[in-house]
Structure formats: C-alpha cells, structure tokens
A and B are shown apart, each in its own frame.
Chain A
C-alpha cells in the first residue's frame, strides 16, 4: 500500500513546479502505471517514493508509515528500483550488480550466491554471472537491472521507463516477464512509461499525469470508456488509431 497525499515538489535550480498536489493510492499487490508527456513529473514522483528527491509538501506513506520517518538508506534497500537507462555499475559483473543490495544488507556469501543464481534464472540470464554490463545487449541489461531491483526481496518495485531502449519484440517479452514476476512475487509495482499500449496491456490501473498534476486514474477499461478530458481521450486514441490503420493495411 503506497499513498500519496497532496504531494508537491518544485526544483529551485530550474524554478520548475514538477509535481503539484498529487493524491493517489496504490493498493497492495497492484500494478499501477504512471503515464504522461515528457516533463510531466513522473520521475520526480517515483524518486520521492524512495527519497532520492524530498517533497516540499504533502506526504508519502508506505504501509501507513510516512517515508520521511524512515532512514533513507534503509528505505531504499527495501524498495526495488529499475532506472531509466538501467544504471548498472560498469565496473561490476552481472552477479555483483545483482548482489549490490544484499551485500549492503550484510547477507552471507552462500545466501547471496543462491539468490543471484535464482534471479538470473528468473530473468533468463543463467550463465551470464561474470560478464560486464558493456558485454550485454540492451534487453539483457534491462533484465539485469530488474534482477538487481528484486534481489533483496522488496515488497515494492519502482520502474522508470524500463523498456525505453528496447526493440519492440524484446520489449514485449521483457514486459510480459515483468508482469509475470509482479504477479508471482505479489509485489506492489509503480511503473512509469510513455507508451499507452504498454500501459493498457500491463496495468491494473493507469494514472495519467500532465504538468505535474494527476489528470485521471482508473482501470484500462475505465480510461477507454470514460476518458476524463480531451487530453486523456487523445492518449487513448493513439493505440486505437494505430490498430485501425494496421487492420486496413492488412485488408488491402
């Protein structure tokens, strides 16, 4: 259970009001997708969950507890985060990247080794343990980042455009994997994307942001049937228009 209560954040450096009065709650075990145009405040929102960014006002609660009351370092170790562009450590092997958080938590070696093997199996990268990130494809890197985020068995998973750099086929495969893993581990997942098709296919509920504000939140069906305004309607229309165009091309 993650709750955002009237959350606001302005960056003094750029004078941007990145997030304005965001109120939203994510149920335990829910897969919520945050969508919106570039610069609408999605990454900022995500970063405030594990305190990489501190809010100006409002609150975030996880399991009812204000995140500002937790030690930020311990908080981050208990939340999985897959960064935009993966963010793997280039001087560490795949196994060392995956083991990052367990090592920080002081797990013993055999337990870490077993966990790494288990996770690399899960993301279908068994045998890649001693490779370096530069020696992987974009899709493989993204899967390592996912494994790293899940290593310490966090109940909460944050994903920031995790499939941005992938080709459509890989993208679909990894997306399906992520959704399956979410289901299997019973995670509470908050994912950011630009892609409405992806959002519609993966999400339990979709939250639409524009200019730092929440425009609408609801299940894919609700969004498709009752878009709150022209902006949401237009977002929804894009995948539909594409599907129609494709069907016509195929018929001709």
Chain B
C-alpha cells in the first residue's frame, strides 16, 4: 500500500471517532431543540415566524465563518463566567463546533416539523379532540406520529449537512475527518484530501440509509426493520467511538498534553517534532493542527494547547500591537518578558531559523523589469501582487506598502500552495512568501530586497503555555531544539513535504529533522 494511504488509514480511528461524536451530538441536540421549538412555532405565528427567520439566516452564514465566530463568542462568555462564578471552560474545539453545527442542524428539522404539523387534516385533529384527548395527548398520540415521516426526512437532511460541515471544525481545534482535507490541501497531499472527502461522504450515506430504514420500519410498523436500523446505528456509532472509549479507560499514567500547529507544512512538521520528543519524555501527546494564526495564540494562553511555534514578527504586531522595529534581539527579549508577564507563557527562545514574510518574483521577470528590491516596485504600479489570506490585513503589509508606496498595486489572494503556481504561471507578478520555504529556490524565484528594513524579523519561537511554563520535564524535552534548527534544515524538511515528487508526510519529515538535531 502507498505510504500516504497507510498513514491515512492509521489516522482513521481517531479522526472518524471524533467526527462521529461531534456530528451525532450536534444532531441529537438539534433534534432535541428543533422538534419542541417546531411544535411551539406551529401553534403560534408570533413565535413561528421570527424563529424560522433567524434559523434561515444562520443557514446562509458560511460554515467556516459560523464555526470561527463561536470561538471569540465562547471566549467572551467564558471570561464572564470566570469573573462571576470563578469557572471557565474550553472555548476551542468541541464546544464551539457543537454549537455551530447544532444551529446548522436546526433549519431542516424545524421547517419540516412546522410544515408537517400545520399540514395535518383538521378533521383528524377534531376527531382527536372529540374522542376525549387533551391537547397533550393529541400532540403525542396523533399529531407527532402523523408528522413523524416528514420530521424524519428533515433529520435525514440535517444528518447529511452536519456530517459534511463537521469537516470544517478542524480549524477551530476540533479533530474531525476535515483534518485529512485541511492538512492534505496545505501539503498538496491529494490522497489525504480525497480520503477525507470519501470518508465523510460514506459516513453521511450510511447514517442516512439507516435513518431511512428506521423511517420505513416506523411507517410499516415492521419491528424487524426498526430493530435492524437501530442495531445498525448503534453499531456505526459504537464502532466509531470504541477507540475513544478504550483510550479514555486506559490507565492514564502519562500526563496528557496538546501541541498546536497553524495551517502550513512547517507547523505540522514542528508539531510532530515536538510531539515525538515529548512522547519519548513520557507524555501522552495530542496534536491540534490547522489552527488559525491568532486562534493558536489564544488557545495557548487559555490552556487549550500547551505548546506551539510562533514567529517573533507575528507576535510583535498581532499580540503586542507594536509597529516599531527595535531590532532582532531586542524584539525577542521584549516578547519573552511581555508574554511571561501578560499571559504566563514561557518562551524557549529562537529555534534557530527565521520564517520571514518576504516578497519574491520569477528571476527572468525581475531581470526584464530591472527589479531588485521592494523600492523598485514603486515604478511599476501595473504589477499584480499575490498573497495568502492573511498578508494584506497584517501590519507587515501596511508597513511595506507605506515604506515603498505599494498601495496602488492590484492584489490577489491564494491558498499558500497555489501562490507559487500563480507566480510561476504569471498569474501574479510578485508574491508574498516565507523565507524558510524550500520552494523559493526550487521554482527559481528571487527575493526582493528590503533596503528600508520595513519587514520585521520572524524568528521561530517555541512557546509553552502557562500550565507547563514551570514543568521541568516538559521544558527539558523541548529545550534541545533551541537554536538547533538552521534555515537550511528547515527549508529541506519543508521541501520534503511541499514538493510534487517523492512527497513525504509531515511525520516523516519530522522524523528526518529529529535525526539531525542532538537529543
């Protein structure tokens, strides 16, 4: 079997289990909220119209945005409950995903419940009253049973939606089948992407089929079908949960820690590298990858993850909100002091390389236009500049645009891995890139100089969250990495994952990198 496929299979129990827990919880919660709400809405226009309107609007919010919005919301709620009652909760991962997915599950169930109840034959309702049923008895003995097939159809629709959208919970720190898709997309591992899509689709299909069977069993009063469907549902959910249960009940001698990674190859590799070192030091490690840039920092300060790698320039602008340029070492020192004082976060210092925002062009094109540095770009406002999703809203870009008067250039945004394609194909003339990326040299790009030193340094810093900032065993496991990863080493490791031929998984690249560093 192909190495990628083998790795995908190995990850399946964990990803599928978490995916099923989340999807099924959201669906159960969705049903528990929507059916009673539907009953109320069907009886009262005053409730019905606004509730349906709100739920319909929620449905139009893109899935990724809805999931992401719950993170700051819960963070704020958690801060309030902490202040008032001295109790806080995890704002990352399961909870925000659960709430967002529950909202998504609501529309089809609610709408079908309302339509079914409103569409009942008034003669039958009159008969229910006439034989002496109370309003409650009429609801449970006549109205809901008659509406059941349509409500079930709504639940089936919700199931297919929710199982699909659950893949989007990966970027807010909840493991799901989406991990295959997001990671695969970042490292251009199409087998991973496909594997994730197929697994999610298969899960949706199986659940839908079992629900359809349950519906047929109910309709025809076939106990055999009903039992079969229930057994099937229990089997699927049980099988998916088994690995989680075994893990939960295994004697938990090893302390649990979580390592975070943002959404690009270098971060996956470094997270796997750290995880390996910690595991050998006796920790039980989970990795949470594909976190958004600021989400990763928040997750660290709130204890949702225990360590990750960030970059000095990023922290300087985004977390400290500074725009001044004090110089490399001063920046590292200030950051270490401030993160410690404000967030209780320990910095293990620079890993030894820099992953700076730089701007690059195809060598031939730069030569033809006689462009050597960012300063030369001002003469060519007709050029198109490509960036990832972050760069143009970051202070770094504002500083560069201001220093070199680049505000008028046409901007385009790409997934990071498509950036290189864009500049090679001429779709963009200049692209933002990262200095540790092995593909810069590979695609024959030249880095534009920064004579005014507008771009801050981006030294890779290993950050440890408050819970382990004084944990000697934890720090000792990671300390040997400090200063040992040179730019060339990192570029080579990155290229192993990012190249098109002989592509390696981040785990394999991490293992290679691990061997290059003293223990």
Q: How many A-B residue pairs have CB under 8 A?
A: 47
Check B132 against A101 for contact (C-beta < 8 Å).
Answer: yes
The answer to the question of B133 belonging to the interface, with a C-beta cut-off of 8 Å to chain A, is yes
Interface-lining segment among A29-37, A69-77, A115-123, A236-244: A69-77
Interface SS majority for chain B: helix
The answer to the question of B145 belonging to the interface, with a C-beta cut-off of 8 Å to chain A, is yes
Check B126 against A52 for contact (C-beta < 8 Å).
Answer: yes
Report B129-152 residues with CB < 8 Å from chain A CB. Answer: 129-134, 137, 142, 145-146
Interface-lining segment among A5-13, A88-96, A135-143, A174-182: A88-96
The answer to the question of B21 belonging to the interface, with a C-beta cut-off of 8 Å to chain A, is no
Q: Which residues of chain B come closer than 8 Å to A88, judged between CB atoms? A: 127
Q: Which residues of chain A come closer than 8 Å to B124, judged between CB atoms? A: 87, 89-90
The answer to the question of B57 belonging to the interface, with a C-beta cut-off of 8 Å to chain A, is no
Check B132 against A83 for contact (C-beta < 8 Å).
Answer: no
Contact status of A83 and B146, CB under 8 A, knowing A74-B132, A101-B131, A104-B137: no
The answer to the question of B128 belonging to the interface, with a C-beta cut-off of 8 Å to chain A, is yes
The answer to the question of A4 belonging to the interface, with a C-beta cut-off of 8 Å to chain B, is no
The answer to the question of B123 belonging to the interface, with a C-beta cut-off of 8 Å to chain A, is yes
Contact status of A76 and B146, CB under 8 A, knowing A83-B123, A85-B123: no
Contact status of A73 and B123, CB under 8 A, knowing A90-B146, A91-B145: no
Contact status of A73 and B133, CB under 8 A, knowing A83-B123, A87-B124, A89-B124: yes
The answer to the question of A50 belonging to the interface, with a C-beta cut-off of 8 Å to chain B, is yes
The answer to the question of A81 belonging to the interface, with a C-beta cut-off of 8 Å to chain B, is yes
In Å, the complex CA distance between A83 and B126 comes to 9
Report A142-194 residues with CB < 8 Å from chain B CB. Answer: 148
Q: Which residues of chain A come closer than 8 Å to B142, judged between CB atoms? A: 89, 91
Check A87 against B130 for contact (C-beta < 8 Å).
Answer: yes
The answer to the question of A100 belonging to the interface, with a C-beta cut-off of 8 Å to chain B, is yes
What sequence of 0s and 1s flags, for each residue 409-426 of chain B, a beta carbon within 8 Å of any chain A beta carbon? 000000000000000000
* Among A74, A76, A90, contact of B130 (Cβ-Cβ < 8 Å): A76
In the assembled complex, how far is the CB of residue A81 from the closest CB belonging to chain B, in whole angstroms?
4
Check A52 against B129 for contact (C-beta < 8 Å).
Answer: yes
Q: Which residues of chain B come closer than 8 Å to A50, judged between CB atoms? A: 130
Check A81 against B133 for contact (C-beta < 8 Å).
Answer: no
In Å, the complex CA distance between A170 and B130 comes to 25
Q: How large is the interface on B (under 10, 10 to 19, 20 to 34, 35 or more residues)?
A: 10 to 19
In the assembled complex, how far is the CB of residue A200 from the closest CB belonging to chain B, in whole angstroms?
28
In the assembled complex, how far is the CB of residue B143 from the closest CB belonging to chain A, in whole angstroms?
10
Nearest opposing residue in chain A for B145, CB measure: A91
What sequence of 0s and 1s flags, for each residue 95-111 of chain A, a beta carbon within 8 Å of any chain B beta carbon? 00000110011000000
Check B127 against A83 for contact (C-beta < 8 Å).
Answer: yes
Check B123 against A87 for contact (C-beta < 8 Å).
Answer: yes
* Among A77, A87, A104, A105, contact of B127 (Cβ-Cβ < 8 Å): A87
Q: Which residues of chain A come closer than 8 Å to B145, judged between CB atoms? A: 91
Nearest opposing residue in chain A for B142, CB measure: A89
Looking at B124, B132, B133, which has the most chain A CB atoms within 10 Å of its CB? B132
Nearest opposing residue in chain B for A75, CB measure: B132
Check B134 against A148 for contact (C-beta < 8 Å).
Answer: no
In Å, the complex CA distance between A73 and B132 comes to 5
In Å, the complex CA distance between A208 and B137 comes to 37
Check A104 against B132 for contact (C-beta < 8 Å).
Answer: yes
Q: Which residues of chain B come closer than 8 Å to A91, judged between CB atoms? A: 142, 145-146
In Å, the complex CA distance between A74 and B124 comes to 19
What sequence of 0s and 1s flags, for each residue 96-123 of chain B, a beta carbon within 8 Å of any chain A beta carbon? 0000000000000000000000000001
In the assembled complex, how far is the CB of residue A98 from the closest CB belonging to chain B, in whole angstroms?
10
In Å, the complex CA distance between A83 and B145 comes to 21
Nearest opposing residue in chain B for A100, CB measure: B131
Contact status of A104 and B123, CB under 8 A, knowing A89-B142, A90-B146, A91-B145: no
Contact status of A83 and B128, CB under 8 A, knowing A90-B146, A91-B146, A104-B137: no
Nearest opposing residue in chain A for B218, CB measure: A91
Nearest opposing residue in chain B for A89, CB measure: B142
Q: Which residues of chain A come closer than 8 Å to B132, judged between CB atoms? A: 73-74, 76-77, 101, 104-105
Nearest opposing residue in chain A for B125, CB measure: A87
Q: Which residues of chain B come closer than 8 Å to A74, judged between CB atoms? A: 132
Besides A83-B123, A87-B126, A89-B142, 19 other A-B contacts (C-beta < 8 A): A52-B129, A52-B130, A73-B132, A73-B133, A76-B130, A76-B132, A81-B131, A83-B126, A83-B130, A84-B123, A87-B123, A88-B127, A89-B128, A90-B146, A91-B146, A100-B133, A101-B132, A104-B131, A105-B132
Closest 10 A-B residue pairs measured CB to CB?
A: A87-B127, A77-B132, A76-B132, A81-B130, A100-B131, A91-B145, A101-B131, A87-B123, A104-B132, A73-B134
Which B residues contact A (CB, under 8 angstroms)? 123-124, 126-134, 137, 142, 145-146
Contact sample, A vs B, 12 pairs, CB 8 Å cutoff = A73-B133, A76-B129, A81-B130, A83-B123, A83-B126, A83-B127, A87-B126, A89-B127, A89-B142, A91-B146, A100-B133, A104-B133
